[in-house]
Amino acid sequence: MQAARRTIPQILIEAIKGILGAKGWIADPEQMAPLLADQRGLYRGKSPLVVRPASTAEVAAVVRLCAHYHVPIVPQGGNTSLVGGSVPHEAGGEILLSLSRMNHILAVDPIDYTMTVQAGCVLADIQQAAQVVDRLFPLSLGAEGSCEIGGNLSTNAGGVNVIRYGCARDLVLGLEVVLSDGRIWHGLKALRKDNTGYDLKQLFLGAEGTLGIITAAVLKLFPKPREIQTAFCAVTSLEAALTLLAKTRAATGDALTAFELMPRVGFEFVLKHIPGTSDPFAQSAEWYVLMELCSARSDAGLRQTLEHNLAEALEEALVSNAVLAESVAQARALWRLRESLPEAEKQEGGSIKHDVSVPVSSVPEFIHTATARVKKAMPNIRVVAFGHVGDGNIHFNLSQPEGADKSAFLAEWGRFNRIVHDLVHELNGSISAEHGIGRLKCNELKRYKNPVELELMRRIKKTLDPDNLFNPGKLIADPEKP
Ligand SMILES: Cc1cc2nc3c(=O)[nH]c(=O)nc-3n(C[C@H](O)[C@H](O)[C@H](O)COP(=O)(O)OP(=O)(O)OC[C@H]3O[C@@H](n4cnc5c(N)ncnc54)[C@H](O)[C@@H]3O)c2cc1C
């Protein structure tokens, strides 16, 4: 593979500016700064140029020029990812290509239940466009007001509705991709069935911009929910939460769309730091669950089913208390308790993050054992294990002990990663459930991924991007060698 250049030839920069016109590039350091730093502030990259093409043809032209001069490209959507995948290396030898100007919804077909979009469309705008035609695009996550569909597909984003609708990769029928030699793969098909060999789109989904630049996609739509019921429950144990999950799925004919876990410590962070939040219960519990059920029918009787299910769960001592939202405003307030947890966590100082998954039934074992192991290593560490428990995806975050020095605590990141990821591996889990690998987890991937899988991934990269033009130093690369 070609090594990345340290400097970018001026002749290339001028050629790109010429093709894209004044709106198509940024070279002002102040304007570029937010695009060069990742969401968590872990990486601050350098680049002489951010390019902002307005069409697939312009993306292809930039790629052809960069390929000619062997200058790597880092694709960027909303820059909300949490593993450093969307920013260039600090060596300054890469061009940042933002898809944000390619933000048009190209077609909405309520009969086909499909929508064709450019890669730079913001997720919330896509959800809104589906609503307008009485349909649902179910991908939903905390960053939906700024993340873009190209980024969602490239990270195979998860979010809160995976239990019912799957991850981003399950929501795509077709793709358009610019390849590393500047050719365009026109795969924008709206077919539900296409049995003509390898499913090429799956290669680009979750590839974190290392194999091609996604420029457009055909997305799947669903019937719009007419009845939505939201409940917040205090559960008696982690095991009870899992029994409640299985019971609710069965009782509601799989109408469950979200099942989110919160620990008391995280709930207390929210109550302390997020204005306008309050505890709906008089008594505290160690674990809480936020669940949501949806039906496309307005007469599905979900409310009665949920009330009945929760009454049984109280009798069976799975749940010690529960509140059902009486209005949309109340449902929003309950969701706010869960969704503001990452923000509240920040206010408590340093946090060492683990975005992991294990088989759903292993969640209690994972949380109990991981908690015991990290507490053995640092007794006062505060374990904030929360997330999409219905998918076996736990954000096993570790907040610094009260009063500890933030930098000294964060310097322990590697030691705690080892403890937690070793256990995830023992339980046949994944070290990245939904945030991807980026730059942050390249070495962890090498450590835990099966060697055969790693070799196949490297071969695919070599085939599709032989000169290492797209997002070097990410995913299956050496993160220190851009
Ligand atoms: C508050 C908050 C909550 C979040 N919650 C969730 C959650 O519940 N579930 C979840 O999965 N994630 C979550 N995330 C992480 C993040 O929002 C997702 O990873 C999201 O999918 C990233 O989209 P983006 O447009 O910001 O991509 P970016 O951050 O811009 O890019 C992500 C990766 O994709 C590549 N890329 C971007 N666009 C393209 C393209 N068009 N073609 C090829 N490669 C491309 C980039 O190079 C990079 O490697 C959350 C983040 C925040 C800040």
pLDDT, one tens digit per residue, over 349-397 is: 999 999 999 999 999 999 999 999 999 999 999 999 999 998 999 999 9
What is the rounded CA–CA span in Å between residue 176 and residue 115? 14
Average pLDDT over residues 269-287: 96
**Residue 122 pLDDT greater than 50, yes or no:** yes
- Interaxial angle between packed helices 10-20 and 56-68, expressed in degrees from 0 to 180 and rounded to the nearest 10: 170
Q: Which two tokens stand for residue 381?
A: 């560490």
Cβ–ligand 1 distance for 435 under 6 Å, the answer yes
Determine the distance separating the centroid of ligand 1 and the alpha carbon of 28, expressed in angstroms: 24
Cβ–ligand 1 distance for 252 under 6 Å, the answer no
Average pLDDT over residues 239-268: 95
Determine the distance separating the centroid of ligand 1 and the alpha carbon of 446, expressed in angstroms: 22
- C-beta separation of 81 from 438 below 8 A: yes
Nearest CA to ligand 1 atom 32: 151
Query: Per-residue pLDDT tens for 12-62?
Result: 999 999 999 999 999 999 999 999 999 888 899 999 999 999 999 999 999
Cβ–ligand 1 distance for 56 under 6 Å, the answer no
Query: Per-residue pLDDT tens for 100-111?
Result: 999 999 999 999
What is the rounded CA–CA span in Å between residue 182 and residue 118? 18
Cβ–ligand 1 distance for 53 under 6 Å, the answer no
Q: Residue 205 in 3-state DSSP? A: coil
Q: Quickly state the pLDDT bin for 479 (edges 50, 70, 90).
A: low
**Residue 89 pLDDT greater than 90, yes or no:** yes
Determine the distance separating the centroid of ligand 1 and the alpha carbon of 78, expressed in angstroms: 7
What is the rounded CA–CA span in Å between residue 144 and residue 280? 27
Confidence (pLDDT) at 41:
86
What is the rounded CA–CA span in Å between residue 477 and residue 482? 8
**Residue 471 pLDDT greater than 50, yes or no:** yes
Name which residue leads in pLDDT, 319 or 159.
319
| Beta carbons within 8 Å of 137's beta carbon, 6+ residues apart | 115, 126, 127, 129, 130, 171, 219, 221, 222
What is the rounded CA–CA span in Å between residue 122 and residue 370? 36
Cβ–ligand 1 distance for 78 under 6 Å, the answer yes
Confidence (pLDDT) at 1:
45
What is the rounded CA–CA span in Å between residue 363 and residue 355? 13
Determine the distance separating the centroid of ligand 1 and the alpha carbon of 40, expressed in angstroms: 12
**Residue 2 pLDDT greater than 50, yes or no:** no
Nearest CA to ligand 1 atom 16: 81
Cβ–ligand 1 distance for 74 under 6 Å, the answer yes
